[in-house]
């Protein structure tokens, strides 16, 4: 059994929290991860408040274990979603793609445990000052919107200044990654890409197939020019986007090119026009499994590695 401060704080069995994957992580996936002993998250993405409320109720109907909501701060619906999570008194909120400080007071007043994603030391200091209960240090190996730094260098530097529990993310898909996260000073791992292969993950079968077939070099980051680099599988769409980014296309046209592409991947499995977000760990995802089995397997692999670490020292 792995011991972790975060497990005690959140009342979960395993030190694994699920990534808040927009369009992917609905109430059903979140409930499966939570029922499996981790912390499931509903990914609010760009969805309106009503959808988030509905998914909170779906998750609550499927499990009595704690779960949370991930709020994507660039969403046009961010204000109403921020209110919905407070009204519904969800146990945990994670945030991404920005600074959540302005919402912190109302979330804390609702008794919510708030865990922002931080891509840097400066953002860590900012959100901790604003009241963050823990932080997720997410390296650029992760899927979707990515920061500059890798997990290996980001996590220890965040740990040095955080003063609250740190969750490592980016490139973690098995027990070796979880053990390494502990070694870097984290007390849990956030895992996204591996859960794309969960039975309870409702993405289009072709999306799952592409993840299972991915190699070590299967992903690419695009969108740097627009200020929000996004990691996805190399595909006809991401290659075309990459080319357009280095052409004389205007920022507005480039931005428009990306609209709706994630939904096309998730719902239609449209390989030509879809954006198949995935982390660099896609090459480590080998089979479709129940979420609970994924969690158990990762922790059972990490345990002997951590126990055996003494063998390195005389």
Sites of contact with ligand TUI (CB under 6 A): 22, 45, 72, 74, 96-99, 117, 119, 123, 138, 144-147, 228, 230
- Shortest CB 145 distance to ligand TUI, Å: 3
Q: Burial of 253 by CB count in 10 Å (0-12 exposed, 13-18 middle, 19+ buried)?
A: exposed
Of 99 and 221, CB closest to ligand TUI: 99
- Shortest CB 116 distance to ligand TUI, Å: 7
Of 126 and 212, CB closest to ligand TUI: 126
| Chain residue at closest Cβ approach to ligand TUI | 144
What DSSP line would sit under 202-263, residue for residue? Answer: -S-HHHHHHHHH--TT-EEEE-GGGT--EEEE--HHHHHHHHHHTTT--HHHHHHHHTTHHH
Of 2 and 146, CB closest to ligand TUI: 146
Of 178 and 257, CB closest to ligand TUI: 257
**C-alpha–C-alpha distance, residues 114 and 137, integer Å:** 14
**CB-based contact 55:27 (threshold 8 Å):** yes
**CB-based contact 102:130 (threshold 8 Å):** no
Of 62 and 266, CB closest to ligand TUI: 266
- Shortest CB 143 distance to ligand TUI, Å: 7
- Shortest CB 303 distance to ligand TUI, Å: 28
- Number of residues assigned to the chain: 314
- Shortest CB 238 distance to ligand TUI, Å: 13
Of 255 and 300, CB closest to ligand TUI: 255
**C-alpha–C-alpha distance, residues 147 and 132, integer Å:** 19
- Shortest CB 209 distance to ligand TUI, Å: 21
Of 40 and 175, CB closest to ligand TUI: 40
- Shortest CB 224 distance to ligand TUI, Å: 11
Question: Which of 181, 185, 163 has the alpha carbon at shortest distance from 173?
Answer: 181
Chain-centroid distance, C-alpha 160: 22
**DSSP state, residue 39:** B
C-alpha distances out from residue 36 to 53, 253, 268, 312, Å: 22, 43, 28, 33
C-alpha torsion 40→44→47→50, nearest 10? 70
**C-alpha–C-alpha distance, residues 7 and 13, integer Å:** 6
Of 34 and 275, CB closest to ligand TUI: 275
- Shortest CB 228 distance to ligand TUI, Å: 4
């Amino acid at each position: 059994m792995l011991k972790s401060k975060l497990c005690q704080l959140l009342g979960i069995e395993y030190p694994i929290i699920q990534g808040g994957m927009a369009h992917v992580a609905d109430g059903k996936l979140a409930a499966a991860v939570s029922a499996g002993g981790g912390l499931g998250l509903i990914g609010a993405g760009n969805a309106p408040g009503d959808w988030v409320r509905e998914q909170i109720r779906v998750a609550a109907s499927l499990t009595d274990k704690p779960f949370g909501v991930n709020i994507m701060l660039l969403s046009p619906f961010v204000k109403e979603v921020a209110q919905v999570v407070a009204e519904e008194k969800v146990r945990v909120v994670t945030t991404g793609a920005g600074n959540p400080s302005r919402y912190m007071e109302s979330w804390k007043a609702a008794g919510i445990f708030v865990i922002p994603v931080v891509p840097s030391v400066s953002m860590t200091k900012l959100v901790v000052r604003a009241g963050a209960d823990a932080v997720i240090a997410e390296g650029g190996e992760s899927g979707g919107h990515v920061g500059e730094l890798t997990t290996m260098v980001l996590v220890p530097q965040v740990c040095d200044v955080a003063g609250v529990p740190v969750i490592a993310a980016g490139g973690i898909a098995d027990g070796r990654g979880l053990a390494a996260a502990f070694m870097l000073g984290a007390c849990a791992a956030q895992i996204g890409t591996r859960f794309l292969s969960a039975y309870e993950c409702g993405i289009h079968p072709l999306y799952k197939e592409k993840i299972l077939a991915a190699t070590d070099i299967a992903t690419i980051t695009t969108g740097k020019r627009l200020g929000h680099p996004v990691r996805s599988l190399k595909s006809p769409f991401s290659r075309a986007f990459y080319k357009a980014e280095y052409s004389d296309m205007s920022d507005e046209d480039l931005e428009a090119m990306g609209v709706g592409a994630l939904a096309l991947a998730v719902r239609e499995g449209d390989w030509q026009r879809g954006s198949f977000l995935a982390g660099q760990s896609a090459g480590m995802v080998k089979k479709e499994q129940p979420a609970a089995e994924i969690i158990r397997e990762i922790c059972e692999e990490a345990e002997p590695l951590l126990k055996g670490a003494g063998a390195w020292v005389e």
